[in-house]
Chains A and B, each alone.
Chain A
Amino acid sequence: MGNLNTTPELSAPEQQLLKDFLEEHRLFYAPDQEILRSHALEPRSAREEAAIERVNDLHRLNQVRGRIISAMEESFRMVEQMGSAPGAKWGDLVTAVFTASGDMSESSAGIVAFATVSPYPIKFIKKYWATEPTVGLRQGDGFIHNDSRYGNIHNTDQSMIMPFYHDGELVCWVSSTVHEGENGACEPGGMPASAISPWDEGLRMPPFRIVEDYKVRRDLLTFLQNSVRDPKLQYEDVYVKLFACLRITERLRAIIAEFGVDALIAFLRVNLEDTEAEVKRRIREMPDGIVRYTSWADSTLREPVLLKTNCELHIRGDRATWMLKGSAPQLNNRAINCLGSSLKAFILTGLVQQMWPDLPRNQAVFSAFGFEADERSLCNCDNDAPMPMSIQVAFRYLIKPGQIMNKMMYGVPLEARARQTVVVAAQYNQPATFIYGGVTQHLEITGNFCADINGAGQGARSNRDGEHALSGCFVFMSDTGEQELMEEELPMVRLVAQVLAKDRVGWGKYRGGLGYEQMVSSRGTPMWGFMTGQTGSEFCSAPGLFGGYSSPAYPLCRVKGINVFEWLKKPGNAERFPYSIVALMNDRPIEGGVYLTSPGTTFEPTTEGEIYMMCQGSGGGYGDVLERDPELVMQDLNQDLLSDETAERIFKVVYERGTRRVDRAATALARDAERAARKARGKPFKDFVAAWVKPEPPPELPYFGSWGDDAVIYAGSGSSRIVMRGDDIQPVWLPDPREVRIAELEARIAALTGSAERA
C-alpha cells in the first residue's frame, strides 16, 4: 500500500480532500518540522507594518526599549530569587518577550539559548492549539513546555509561555525558562547519560495549557509532580515562572499606557530588523571566504569513540552560512544527539559571548546567517534519537564562532564594527560538573547538578592571559556557588572545593585561564549516586589560537570501596591525604581502595566516603610559548599554577629554582635552540601530507563522521564500520557496552578455561 501523503497521481482537488481528511482525523500533533527548521524571522505582518507606519520615531522606540529591558531585568531577578532549582539560583534561566508572530525580540540576562529556542513552541501553539477547538488560545493562558522536539535545548529545561492581549488583540508573547534539573528521567537530575531511547528522557511535554485564567490547574500540576522525583521542585517553579511572566505582562500594560500599543508592536519588530541589519553589516566587513574548525568528542558518555563535529563559516558579501556537513551520524541509542533547532541557539550564544557582546540578545543575531547540516547527523538529529545530553554536542559549538571568526577577523581593520571585543582563544567548553541524585540528609528526594559547571577557564587573549575559572562559556555572570550552602542542603562533603588545577592549561605567549579540581564524597545519606556529562578525557576540547596550546584532557577519577572519613580519623592519615587528583591517583595512599580512571560515568550509586574527582578545564592558549615573557612564567610559578618542569620544558625558561631568578641570556639561547629544533623536525607541507594523510580512518578506531571528504560519513570500527553518503545518513545503533564487556569477559573465561583444560 502506497503512502497517502506522497501519492503523486492525485489531482489538486483530491489532494485538498486528502489534506482536509488528515486534518480532521489527526492522530497526533507531532512536532512540526516546518516550524523547527526555520530560524528566519517571520515576515512583517500587516499589523506590524501599520504600527511601524504610525510610530516612526526611532527615539521614541528607544524609550520603549529601555522599558522592555527594565522589565526583563526585573523578571530575571524574580526568577533568580524565587526559583527553587539550583540552576535558577546560579543564573541558569531566562525571561523573554516575543512578537505576536512568535519571534524572540528581547531577552533578559541568563541563558540566551533558552530564549532562542522558545519561538518554536510558541509557533506551534499558534499554528495548532489556537485553532484546535478543544484547546484554543485566550488571555490568561499559560503553556508549560519542555520537549526539545517541539523546540528546546534539552528536556531538563522547562518554560512557561503566555500570550499577551490588549483589547482582545494578541500583541506579543512572554516566557520564563529555568533549567529545572530533575524531570523523572531514567537517571536523576534530568540529563540521563544512559538514555538509550526517547522514552528514557523523563517528562516530554509538548506545549500545553497548565494555566487558565492566570491560575495553575492542580490536576495537571499533580500529574507533573507525580512524574518526577522531586514534586516540591516541580510545584514551586511552576508558580515562579508563572509569576515572572505575569510581572512582564504588568510592565507591558504600563508601556502600552505610556506609549500606546502601536509603539510596543513596532518596537518588537524593529528591534529584530535593526539587529539583523547590523549583523549583516558586520558580516560584510569580514573577508569573503571559508574558515573551518573541526573538533571531536571522545566519548558517547558510555564508550570511548571519536565523534566529529564539523563547522565551517562561508562568507560572501553579507551572506554567511554555518556549514556543519560531514559531522558524525546520529546515534539512535545514545543520549548525546542534538537537534539542528537547538544547535543554532548555541551558535548564537557563541556569537554574543565571544564576538559581539554588544548586540541585543534576540533571535535576529542568528537569522542573518544560513545553516546547513546533514540530516540525521549528531548535530541535526531526527526525533527518534534520544537527546537529553544534547549539550555534549551543542557545547562544542559554543566556541566555534570565536575560533572561526577570530581567524576571519585577522585582516579586518581595528575600527570595524565587527570588532567589538578582544580576540580570545576558546574557553573550556565541557559541562564538567557532578550530577547527583538520592536522598538528602533532610530526607528529601532530589536529583540535580552542581554549580561547578559555571567556572570554566577562559581562553588566552591576544594581549593578556585568560582569566581562571570564569563564568561558563554559555552565559555571562553565572555563579559557581558556595560550598557551605551546597553542603547544607545536600549530603556531600567537598574534600577539595574548587582548587585551580596546576599545570593543566593551554599554554602560549599568553596562557589560558585555569580550571579547577573538584573532589567530593557523600556523607549522611541512605542513598546517593553520581553521574557526569562531559567528554574530553582523551581528546582536548578547547583549542588554542594562533599557536597556543589546547587545554589538556581531563578524565573522571574515582576511589571506590573506601570510606575516606573513617580513614582520615586514623592517626597520621590526615597528613598523608594529598588533596590533589594527580597525587591521590598516582600515590594511592588509601589502602584497599579501587582507583578508577574513565571518560565519565552514567549514574552510579556510591557509599559514604567514596571519592569522586573531576577537573573543570582550562582555556586554550594564544601564540607561541617561546614568546612568553619569562617573568610571567615566574609569576605563574610563584602562584603555584605550573611546575618547574613545565617552565623549563615547555617555555624553555632558564632560571635558578631556589630564587626563581631568570637567566635571560640563557633563556634566549634555549629558545633559539628550540626554534632550530622545530625547524629540524619540520618538513615541507607536501611531505607532511604524504606521510600524515590516510585515505580512511584506521580500522581499529571507533570513528564517526567524515574523513577528508565531507560527503562521505564513516561510522564505527573494524568489520562493523559503515560508510554512508552524507546526504543519506542512516541512524547508527551501538552495542550495549555492558554486553560488549560481558562478551569480552566470557571470551576471556573461555580462553582461560581452554588454557586450563589444555594444561
Chain B
Amino acid sequence: MKRVSVDIGGTFTDCFVVWDDRYIETKALTTRHNLALGFNEALDEACSTLGFTRSELLAEVDSVRYATTLGTNALLERKGPRIGLLTTVGFRSTVNIGRGRAYGEGLSFAKQRDMPNADRPEALVRPEMVREIRERIDYAGTVLMPLDERDLRVRLRELVDAGAEALVVCLANAVVNPEHELLIQKIYVEDYPEHMLGSVPMLLSHQVAGRKGEYIRTMSTVLDAFLHKAMYFGLSALELNLCASGYTKPMLVVHNSGGMAQLNSTDALQTVHSGPVSGIAAAEHLARQANLGNVVATDMGGTSYDIGLVVDGGVKFYDFMPVIERWLVTVPMVHLVTLGSGGGSIATYDGMYKTVKCGPESAGSDPGPACYDRGGLKATVTDADLLLGYLDPHNYANGHIKLNPRRSRQTVEDQLCDPLDIDAVEACKLIKRTVDADMANGVATELRAFGYDPSEFTLLSYGGNGSLHACGIAHNLGIDRILAPPFAAVFSACGAGTLDQMHIHEMSTFLVLFQPKTKTLFTDYEVFNDMVAALERRGHEDLLRQGFAERDIRYRLELDMRYGNQRVTTSVVTDLRRLRSLHDVARIIDQFHRSYGDRFGEGSQSPAAGVRINTIRVCSYVEVEAVRFADIGPGLRSAPSPAPIGLRRCHFVGLDAPIETPIYDERALVHGVALEGPAVVTTPHTTYLVEPGWRFEAAAQRAVWLVRPQAGRGNPHGQPEHNA
C-alpha cells in the first residue's frame, strides 16, 4: 500500500505516509493563508525520508486523504457568507430563539448555569435575512396550505436585494414531504439562472438532514451554507495543489461520520471535527487489529481533552444531534466529547471548599501557562507539572518553548499557597490530583451513560499532554492498561488512512413495531422496505458517482428505536435489510431490548408501552485496504534499558518525599525496553510520566504501554486507600 493521509489542525499539519512497509510521520506548521504550503512542507519532509520528489510520490499513491479543521476555524472566526433563510410562515424566529437554550450549547456547565450572563452566539443568519413563505405541510406530509408562488418570488427578491450570498430553505415537515422545498428550488433556478446568480447556492434542508426537528435541521443547513464557500475554496485549492504536483486521482475528504468521500460528494458540515474523529477511527482500527477490547480514546492537548468510545463488537457511537461549536445540529457524527481541560487549564483557589479548582477557564496557548513567560499570570496545570519535576524546562515541545519555573512558582505561591497554607509543591500535587480526578470523572460519566464500566477499558492516550496525566487519570478510573498508540504524534492523520468510503443517509419515520393499545405487531413490511430501499439507492448513487463498482458496495442498516414516547432512541444495527415476517419484527424488538438493557440496566425496558422506530439509517460503504499496524502487544520482545540521561527530583501525589527520578530520552522507545516507575521519558512530541507502581513497556512502532500490576492498584500513588 502507498497512501498519504493528512490532518490539518489549528497549529500543525500532520502527515502520515504509508509506503509499502514503511511508515513516515512528519509535521509542519499549518499555513492558514494557504493550507497547501504547510501540506507541501510536511509531505516534502516525508519525501526526503523516502528519497523521492513530491510528484514521484504522488504519482504512486492510491489516495490522498484529508481531515481538516478548516470548517471549525471558519466557524470560530465567524467567516462565512451572508445567508438568507426561507422558512414556513409562523416559523421566522426559530433560529433566533434556538429552543431557548442556544445560549449555553457548547459551553461549560458553570457558564450554562450563569443565566444572567447568557449570550447567544453571534447569529449566522441575521434576523433581517429571514423570510417566511406561505405554505404548510403537516406531520404526515399532507399539504395544509399550498405554496404561494407569488409570495415566494417576492421574498426571494427581497433576500437577493438584501445581499444574500447563500440561500437556505427549511420548511416545516419537509423531511416527510419535500414537495415545497423542491418547488422553491425549481422556481429559484428558473428565475435566477446561473448566469445571474451562479455563485449564490441554495441549500434545501431535507437534503442536508433527514430528521424531524425544524430548529436542528435549519441550523444544520445554515452551517452547511455558512461553511460552503470556505470549504469549497480551501479544499479545491488543496486539490489543485495536488494536481499541480502530479496527483491525478480525486482527493478524499474525511467525514465526521467516520467515513470519507470525494470532495464533490462532501457537504461542508460533514468535515467539521473530522480531525478528532479520525483519531477515534484510528483507535477503532488499532483496537480491532490488536484485540484491545474496549478502548476509550483520549486526546489531551493544551486547552481541551477529547474523548471517544470504541467498544468490542463494532458497536458504533454516534451523536445524532451534536453541538458543533455553539450550535445544535443534526448530522450523524461519531460520538466525541470535549471536556474543558488540558495543560492550559487554570488552577484557582476555591474559597468555599478551601481547595483547588481546575478550569474551566484556560490560559490557552496565548498567553499560555505562566511558565511560558509570555505574560500569563495564572497558575495552570502545566505550571504544576513543571514544578513537580515532570517537564524539562529546556526541552519542552521539542525545545521550541523554554519554560520558566520561577514564574510558575511565583504564581502558584501567590494564588494558591497563601490561602491553602501549604507550600508550592503540595499545591502542585493538589492541582495534579484535581485535574486527573476531573478528567476521570468526565470519562467515567460518558462511559457509564452508555452502560459501560470504565475499569473494563484500555485507556488510549495521545495528544501532547496525554501521557503526562494518563497514569493519574487511569488510576481514578480503575483502569490498569494505558496505551500510547503507534504514531501517536500524528494519530489523527494515521486514522484517515484507515477509513472506508462511506455515505450515511437517514429518514425520520413513525413506525410502530408494537402498538400496545391494539396489541398488534407491525406488518406493513412494504412501507419499511421501501424506505430502506430509497436510502440504499441514495448511497448507491453516491458511490457509483465516485467510480466504485456495484459489486463492492455494502450496506449497513441501523434503526433508532424507542419505547413509548421516550426521548432517547437506541441505535440497533441489524443484519436484516428487509422485513418479511413477524419473526423479523420480533428479532429487531429483541435486539433493541437487549441493547437498551445493557445501557440503562436490565429490567428498565418498557416494551409494554409500545416500540417504535423513529429513524431509519443506511450506511453505504466500500471497504478499502486499511493501514496495518504491527503487533503492538506488550512483552513480545525484550531490549536492554537505555541509561537515563539524568536524574530529576520529582514529586508524586500521595508521597511525602520527592524521588530522584531517572529521566530517559526517546531511546527508551526502542521496542522491548521496559522501565519501572517512577520514570520520565521525554521525546520531541510528548513526555511520558511513569508514576510509582506503573511499568513502562515500549512496543512495536513506538507504541508504549503503561501497565499496573493488580497488586499495585490499591496504592498507585502511595496514598492510603482510605483515611479511616
| Chain A residues proximal to chain B, CB less than 8 Å | 54-63, 65-67, 69-70, 73-74, 77-78, 80-84, 88-89, 109, 232-233, 235-236, 239-240, 243, 246-247, 251, 258-260, 262-263, 274-275, 278, 352-354, 357-359, 417, 420-424, 442-444, 454-455, 458, 461, 464, 467-472, 476-485, 487-489, 493-500, 516, 519, 523, 565, 568, 574-575, 579, 638-640
Contacts and interface: CB of A to CB of B under 8 A. Distances in A.
Contacts of B127: 639-640
Contacts of B2: none
B566 A81 contact: yes
B400 interface: no
Given A233-B565, A499-B90, A482 B97 contact: no
A59 B355 contact: yes
28 contacts: A55-B723, A55-B724, A59-B355, A59-B356, A62-B350, A70-B441, A74-B448, A81-B566, A84-B563, A84-B565, A84-B606, A89-B567, A236-B566, A251-B448, A262-B724, A278-B351, A357-B114, A455-B97, A458-B118, A470-B103, A477-B101, A477-B104, A482-B216, A488-B139, A498-B97, A519-B90, A575-B148, A640-B127
Contact of B724 (A61, A260, A420, A487): A260
Contacts of A233: 564-565
B566 A77 contact: no
Contact of B563 (A55, A236, A260, A478): A236
Contacts of A58: 353-355
Given A80-B567, A354-B116, A424-B116, A484 B90 contact: no
A37 to B, nearest CB: 28
Nearest to B512: A442
Contacts, number: 248
B132 to A, nearest CB: 8
B99 A481 contact: yes
A568 to B, nearest CB: 6
Interface in B707-723: 721-723
Interface stretch (B78-86, B405-413, B596-604): B596-604
Contacts of B564: 84, 232-233, 236
Contacts of A478: 100-101
Contacts of B90: 494-497, 499, 519, 579
A449 B53 CA distance: 68
Nearest to B354: A58
A373 B144 CA distance: 54
B119 interface: yes
B214 A483 contact: yes
Contact of B517 (A60, A422, A443): A443
A470 B173 CA distance: 25
A77 B512 CA distance: 25
Given A482-B214, A482-B216, A575-B134, A62 B93 contact: no
A495 to B, nearest CB: 6
A483 B136 CA distance: 13
B438 interface: yes
B519 to A, nearest CB: 13
Contacts of A88: 567
Contact of B138 (A258, A357, A458, A487): A487
Contacts of B172: 483-484, 497
Contacts of A487: 138-139, 173
B118 A482 contact: no
Given A262-B724, A476-B113, A579-B90, A66 B600 contact: no
B510 interface: yes
A482 B100 contact: no
Contacts of A357: 110, 113-116
Given A59-B430, A62-B356, A70-B441, 6 more contacts: A58-B354, A73-B445, A84-B565, A247-B448, A357-B110, A454-B101
A526 to B, nearest CB: 14
A632 to B, nearest CB: 14
Nearest to B719: A60
Interface residues of B, number: 83
Given A470-B100, A484-B214, A495-B90, A243 B567 contact: no
Interface of B: 89-94, 96-97, 99-101, 103-104, 109-110, 112-120, 126-128, 132, 134, 136, 138-139, 144-145, 148, 151, 172-173, 212-216, 350-356, 430, 433-434, 437-438, 441-442, 444-445, 448-449, 510, 512, 516-517, 563-568, 600-601, 603-604, 606, 608-610, 721-724
Contact of B214 (A55, A60, A497, A639): A497
A480 B97 contact: yes
A496 B172 CA distance: 11
A484 B213 contact: yes
B604 A243 contact: yes
A423 B117 CA distance: 9
B119 A467 contact: yes
Contacts of B724: 54-55, 260, 262-263
B353 A243 contact: no
Contacts of B604: 82, 239-240, 243
B240 to A, nearest CB: 40
A523 B138 contact: yes
Contacts of B510: 488
B169 to A, nearest CB: 15
Contacts of B89: 579
Contact of B144 (A274, A485, A565, A575): A565
A484 B173 contact: yes
Nearest to A453: B100
B148 A574 contact: yes
Contact of A477 (B112, B173, B565, B568): B112
A416 to B, nearest CB: 12
A239 B565 CA distance: 14
A232 B609 contact: yes
A483 B354 CA distance: 47
Central interface residue in A58, A470, A500, A565, by most chain B CB within 10 Å:
A470
B568 A232 contact: no
Given A82-B568, A239-B604, A421-B114, A488 B212 contact: yes
Contacts of A358: 110, 113-114
A84 B94 contact: no
A500 B97 contact: yes
B118 A470 contact: yes
B37 to A, nearest CB: 41
A109 B101 CA distance: 14
A516 B93 contact: yes
A62 B139 contact: no
Central interface residue in A65, A78, A443, by most chain B CB within 10 Å:
A78
B115 A354 contact: yes
Given A109-B109, A458-B118, A500 B93 contact: yes
Central interface residue in B126, B173, B433, B604, by most chain A CB within 10 Å:
B604
B114 A480 contact: no
Contact of B722 (A259, A420, A482): A259
B516 A232 contact: yes
Contacts of A275: 352
B100 A454 contact: yes
A482 B212 contact: yes
A439 to B, nearest CB: 11
Contact of B567 (A62, A81, A247, A484): A81
Contacts of A260: 721-724
Nearest to B445: A70
A248 to B, nearest CB: 11
Contacts of A638: 128
Contact of B101 (A424, A442, A479, A497): A479
A213 to B, nearest CB: 12
Nearest to B109: A109
A263 B723 contact: yes
Contacts of B112: 476-477
B136 to A, nearest CB: 8
Given A243-B600, A443-B517, A482-B215, A461 B96 contact: no
A136 B721 CA distance: 35
Contacts of B445: 70, 73-74
